[in-house]
Chains A and B, each alone.
Chain A
Amino acid sequence: MLLASLLVASFVIFAATYLAPGNPIAALSGGRSLPPSSLRILEQRYHLNAPFFAQYWYWLSNALHGNLGISITLRENVSTLIASRIWTTAGLVLYASVLILVFGIGLGLAAGLRPGVLDTSTVVVTAISAAIPAFVAAIVLILLFAVRLGWFPAIGNGTGLVDNIRHLTLPALALAISSLAIVARITRASVREEGEREHVQTAASRGIPGRQLIRRHVLRNAAIPITTIAGITIASLIAVAAVVETAFGLNGLGAYLVQAAQSKDLAVVQGISLLLVAAFVIVNLLVDMLYAVLDPRVSLGSRAT
């Protein structure tokens, strides 16, 4: 069950405090020396004198109430720090998801339903694009569209909604490219495969007209693997966003996570990790539910392997 995953994941995240070399205080302070008053606050807040699992419990219940501790480096509530950055990341992931769904599935459908030049070129292009990591795509896109053509800005968030979207375009594209290619390939393969299935023949033998045949029997059935792969790739965006945000200098959770990891600001790392893992688990859960809706052979909780 994915909720169990979440629980175990949160435990692992929490346990990081103890895995770090040195004692928990050192981990929480990032190895900095702190005045005694701060030390006492840390002890109290993290219940460091309580047994291990009690500490875990305190941490988790605090987290669920929105209290994720304090950033050592910035001396602010982690929750506040997260809240100010979450929309960048959410916007980026959403934008990339839309690109993947619209162009990935669209391209896959066009190639799958029509054998010909579009099809063969799609296979080749997607084969190559699928292997392009987000950060490589980032620099190529910056080079082409920001530097050479000047169509989109290269760095930063921008101000105001429209400007934000402009600034997010290249990052979203970099994030989406490899997943888009994969979704397109799988869509194309699924449509092809479903088209060859015997039950489509049966419907054809009963005189169901072509367009209806495709819609009700080929696409409807192909929707199952297509939705699965789309859902899974979108879930993966959550983690890869960090790379893209760093490359484009975006002020998002991922970039902040990386900075916090480098400066050993453990509370921030834990807080953001927890949030990202939760998001990942939730998206996967939604994919599972959608799968169960689309495929009547499957009951909730089991995804066909």
Chain B
Amino acid sequence: MSTGLPVAAIESIEARQPPLLPGVRATGLAGIVSAAIIAAATFAAIFGPLLAPYDPNLPNLSLAWVGPTGGHLLGFDVQGRDVLSRLLVGAQTSMLGPLVVVIVSMITGSLLAVVAAWRRGAADAAISSGLDILFAFPGILLAVLATAVFGAGLTAAAIALSIAYMPYVARVLRSAAFRERSQPYVAALEVQGASATSICFRHLIPNMTPLIVAQATILFGYAMVDLAAISFLGLGVQPPRADWGVMISENQTGIPQGYPLPALAAGVCIVAVVIAFNVLGERLFEQAQAART
């Protein structure tokens, strides 16, 4: 993460924390709200263009900054485009980018973790050292470097971020993989003649699934923040394409002028979805811990 936070260190401590919203845990209210937010965002990401009431990309400067009126629930942005429509359509890139980052980094990270745990010894040492070296690159920095080399855009940023996240994923999963590896059933399967790949893919990884899912969920939140930041900087999704990070950057000038709504609306979307993923991720993580003991 560009925030450079080792997921392992935080999760290991946070997993022992009391619930997010004390007293509310019993009813799972936070969980329900989070799930609802994620569902809404996903829905918007898939059907956004169909749901948008107005053309998100049609500028009309005479309508710039006009507040909520008539069918325009959130008013107009800096170029006179309907804010709500842009939010709905922007959900696509805002959700898709992190998805790609999570998938790529989780797959590469898990594979590295499993290989390190399976082979142990020299292979593990080599992989661990390699990962340690990669830790030196905060995600945002790598993304900036990538865009300087390959040109601005979501692809370069997403790939750079995946590379930056991979060591974190690998480190967290490595310890879990080692734990699984030393379970008796693995030895039993080996004795029965099962091959390494089949043990890893049919037993080891499935048993790590709760942790992998929890990790992926939390990672999604971080990826979303980082990608939105990169788009905000103008190095990710390019304007005038709709994207929550881009929208904040575009509409920032409205704030000192007294028109904060467009920028704020995009900001709220980002924060809400990130919190939702964090809450869900924490729950899943606790469940994964509980399942292990």
Contact = CB atoms under 8 A, between A and B. Distances in A.
* A and B co-occur in one complex: yes
B127 to A, nearest CB: 14
Interface in A257-276: 257-258, 260-262, 264, 266, 269, 273, 276
Nearest to B140: A239
Nearest to A6: B136
A257 B144 contact: yes
Contacts of A16: 145, 148-149
Contacts of A235: 4
A140 B260 CA distance: 9
B248 A139 contact: yes
B5 A233 contact: yes
Contacts of A136: 248, 267, 270-271
Interface in B1-15: 1-6, 8-10, 13-14
Interface stretch (A38-46, A48-56, A93-101, A125-133): A125-133
A284 B136 CA distance: 9
A9 B229 CA distance: 22
Given A228-B9, A262-B152, A127 B20 contact: yes
B263 to A, nearest CB: 5
B221 interface: yes
Interface string B233-256: 111000000000100100010011
B141 interface: yes
Interface stretch (A162-170, A183-191, A206-214): A183-191
Q: Tell me what chain B mostly uses at the interface: helix, strand, loop, or mixed.
A: helix
B1 to A, nearest CB: 7
Interface in B146-179: 147-150, 152, 171, 175
A161 interface: no
Contacts of A139: 248, 252, 255, 260, 263-264, 267
B54 interface: no
A142 B255 CA distance: 8
Contacts, number: 186
A285 to B, nearest CB: 11
Interface residues of B, number: 62
A280 interface: yes
A172 interface: no
A13 B137 CA distance: 10
A246 interface: yes
A266 B151 CA distance: 12
Interface in A209-262: 225, 228-229, 232-233, 235-236, 238-240, 242-243, 246-247, 257-258, 260-262
A243 B17 contact: no
A117 to B, nearest CB: 11
B139 interface: yes
Q: Tell me what chain A mostly uses at the interface: helix, strand, loop, or mixed.
A: helix
Contact of A189 (B16, B133, B144, B149): B16
A124 interface: yes
B229 A134 contact: yes
Interface stretch (A19-27, A60-68, A78-86, A292-300): A19-27
Nearest to B279: A127
Contacts of A201: none
Among A135, A182, A262, A269, the one with the most B-chain Cβ atoms within 10 Å of its Cβ is A135
A27 B150 CA distance: 10
Contact of A242 (B140, B255, B275, B278): B140
A102 interface: no
A273 B14 contact: no
Given A131-B275, A143-B264, A258-B234, A277 B141 contact: yes
B138 A236 contact: yes
Contact of B14 (A120, A186, A240): A186
A154 to B, nearest CB: 6
A5 B133 contact: yes
Contacts of B228: 133, 135
B101 interface: no
A8 B136 contact: yes
Interface string A152-184: 001000000000000000000000001100100
Contacts of B232: 135, 243, 246-247
A269 B148 CA distance: 7
A135 to B, nearest CB: 5
A176 to B, nearest CB: 12
Contacts of B234: 258, 262
A305 B171 contact: yes
Among A1, A134, A139, A284, the one with the most B-chain Cβ atoms within 10 Å of its Cβ is A139
Interface of B: 1-6, 8-10, 13-14, 16-18, 20-23, 129, 132-141, 144-145, 147-150, 152, 171, 175, 221, 225, 228-229, 232-235, 245, 248, 252, 255-256, 258, 260, 263-264, 267, 270-271, 274-275, 278-279
13 contacts: A4-B133, A123-B22, A133-B225, A133-B229, A139-B255, A139-B264, A147-B256, A147-B260, A262-B234, A266-B148, A266-B149, A280-B141, A305-B175
Interface of A: 1-2, 4-6, 8-9, 12-13, 16, 19-21, 27, 120, 123-124, 127-128, 130-136, 139-140, 142-143, 146-147, 154, 178-179, 182, 185-186, 189-190, 193, 225, 228-229, 232-233, 235-236, 238-240, 242-243, 246-247, 257-258, 260-262, 264, 266, 269, 273, 276-277, 280-281, 284, 305
